[in-house]
Amino acid sequence: MLAVDALSSRYGRITALSDVSLRVDSGELIALVGANGAGKSTLLRALSGVQPTAGGNVRFEGADITKLPARARVRMGIVQVPEGRQVFGPLSVEDNLRLGAYVRPASELPESLERVYRLFPILAQKRREAAGTLSGGQQQMLAMGRALMTKPKLLLLDEPSMGLAPRLVAEIFATIRSLKDAATTILLVDQNARAALSIADRAYVLEVGRIALSGRGDELLVNPAVQQAYLGL
């Protein structure tokens, strides 16, 4: 589905990504783990078309999308849930969700809303309330629900558990697992490396903008280098 070959990206003179290659197959959940500043979020931004690239190429469903703008990638089915949630606080929960469906036919809206409300029942209860009044965990659910309104082919999740209480972290990861079980293809970035690797089919470890390790999620969980660097063992 997604093939990244020798991708590079810079912030001015600073190289953020260098020669990054990876693949995501349809139906997979792929985790990206690494320290702060390793380039994980930059990679997601580059894949969604927000961050310019300096070299390499990105192919999605066989098409070269390296130069496509973000809006074109959304229409192709690549949707990112950004770090920090970024909901529209003054708007209602349901209006936030409706905004996510702007690329879909209006006839699909009721079905899409119902799907999101089944996945996140608390959003159905609060559908008329302002998004800014939700808790951090509820806002994260709303951000994920808004992305799902587009019916994404590839969902990019950037730090979905950041700043959440442990109980809510478990709830968010259970939701991500359920999305995977429903055949949603996911590329996941999260500082909670243990939780991310536990649900991932495969994973890549980024260090200073480069892929340092890759393998099955369960294999990397027991890799001594990963345990020492990211799991506190």
User: In this predicted model, what pLDDT tens digit does every residue of 75-95 receive, in sequence order?
Assistant: 999 999 988 778 999 999 999
Cα-based distances in Å from 83 to 13, 97, 108:
24, 18, 27
Average pLDDT, the chain: 93
pLDDT at position 232 over 90: no
- Is residue 6 domain-resident? no
Q: What is the pLDDT of residues 26-53, one digit of tens each?
A: 999 999 999 988 999 999 999 999 999 9
Q: 115 lies in which domain range? A: 27-49+70-230
Cα-based distances in Å from 189 to 16, 94, 98, 111, 118:
16, 26, 25, 29, 25
pLDDT confidence bin for 233, thresholds 50/70/90: low
The confidence score (pLDDT) of residue 190 equals 93
Percentage of the chain with pLDDT > 90? Answer: 82
- Is residue 93 domain-resident? yes
Nearest 5°: phi and psi at 203?
-150, 155
Q: Domains in the chain: how many in total?
A: 1
- Is residue 2 domain-resident? no
The confidence score (pLDDT) of residue 10 equals 94
- Is residue 13 domain-resident? no
- Is residue 76 domain-resident? yes
**Element housing 158 (H / E):** strand 154-158
- Is residue 1 domain-resident? no
Q: What is the pLDDT of residues 134-173, one digit of tens each?
A: 998 899 999 999 999 999 999 999 999 988 888 889 889 9
pLDDT confidence bin for 16, thresholds 50/70/90: very high
Q: What is the CATH number of the domain that holds 36?
A: 3.40.50.300
- Is residue 172 domain-resident? yes
- Is residue 59 domain-resident? no
